[in-house]
Amino acid sequence: MQNNLFIAFWNVENLFDVDTTDRPEKIKKIIKKDIAGWDDTILSIKLAQLSKVIRSMNSSAGPDILGVCEIENRNVLEKLVAKIAGDGGRAYQIAHADTSDNRGIDVAFLYDPAIASTSPSEMFQHWIMKRYATREIFQVNFHIDDKIIVLVGNHWPSRTAGEYESEPYRIIAGETLAYWIQRIKEELGKEVAIVVLGDFNDEPFNRSIKEYALSINDKKRVKNGRNPYLLNLMWPMLAEGVGSHYYGSQWNMLDQIMISRGIINGKSGWKQDGNVQIEAVSLMSIPKKTGPRRFGLKQDERDTEGFSDHYPVSIKLKR
């Protein structure tokens, strides 16, 4: 029986397939300049860097389940999984669904089949709309021995157009997520274990998270409230002044993990074990510089010794 579970999430930053890959004409036009020269050699280096970080987690055992975003397609996921296994890591399987995002980037999960199982009928996807599809919420129901645990991966609309100008789209995402949590509880029971994780492109204190996704820093309300509240586990780290992403000389906590009341009270069969963590900080950072060392995408910004512009975040659960 699996008594412990290590779950992580990582925005791996623009894991695109090679520049010659056949892709829809619309996406090809949008990303053509960005991925010029993104050939097999560059992709292989990027995969090797990602593999280092993934294998370093969980005391160098790798995560039991890893959510990822900014993945172009299943093909690069399969290459990543093969690289991890080839480097001596776990032989992961893939849960993935395509989106209609303008840049063609997806959310997916890698999971150890010796620990967890799922099927296509237990994967559910929703695209956040702003006149066109953008980013996604991706739910996977995993079976671990006799228990179900629901993981909901998120990559919410970005702040590229401006934080406040783009906020309504993340509010839509938050409202959608809260409805999903409500429906999951209706289908699987109010005490089901749910872990919501992802790159939300908003902070735990932003309206989209607190008011619409109902992800709060109040354990009592999550346990006893009528609404489908989630406990946002990132607040203690906010108090420490750290973050998962560094931009404009400022830390941001865009990558977050939230849990349902069935985990807080243990009635799901799972409980949180220790605090959430920001992973691979020393591995991914440049000495005497702040923030993760990014790999980059465009030719003039690539750093082949880099990794991603986000650190991974993780949670441990126990029976």
248 — pLDDT class (breaks 50, 70, 90): confident
Average pLDDT over residues 177-203: 97
Q: What is the pLDDT of residues 12-27, one digit of tens each?
A: 999 999 988 988 888 8
Distance (Å, whole) CA 134 – CA 141: 23
Q: Is 18 helix (H, G, I), strand (E, B) or coil?
A: coil
Class in CATH terms, 4-318 = alpha beta
The answer to whether the beta carbons of residues 32 and 21 sit under 8 Å apart is: no
pLDDT at 208: 97
Strands (E), the chain: 4-15, 65-71, 93-96, 106-111, 123-129, 133-144, 147-155, 193-199, 215-216, 230-232, 245-247, 250-252, 255-259, 271-272, 277-278, 313-318
Distance (Å, whole) CA 173 – CA 199: 12
Average pLDDT over residues 72-79: 96
99 — pLDDT class (breaks 50, 70, 90): low
Greater pLDDT, 161 or 242: 242
User: Which CA distances in Å does 218 have to 57, 196, 233, 239, 259?
Assistant: 29, 16, 10, 15, 12
Average pLDDT over residues 255-276: 97
**Cβ neighbourhood burial of 222 (10 Å; 0-12, 13-18, 19+):** buried
102 — pLDDT class (breaks 50, 70, 90): low
pLDDT at 133: 44
Domain extents in the chain: 4-318
The answer to whether the beta carbons of residues 82 and 74 sit under 8 Å apart is: no
Q: What is the pLDDT of residues 57-73, one digit of tens each?
A: 999 999 999 999 999 99
pLDDT above 50 (res 283):
yes
pLDDT at 51: 98
CA-CA-CA-CA dihedral for 156, 159, 161, 164, to nearest 10: 100
pLDDT above 80 (res 207):
yes
pLDDT at 132: 46
130 — pLDDT class (breaks 50, 70, 90): low
Greater pLDDT, 269 or 102: 269
307 — pLDDT class (breaks 50, 70, 90): very high
- Single-letter residue type at 253: M
74 — pLDDT class (breaks 50, 70, 90): very high
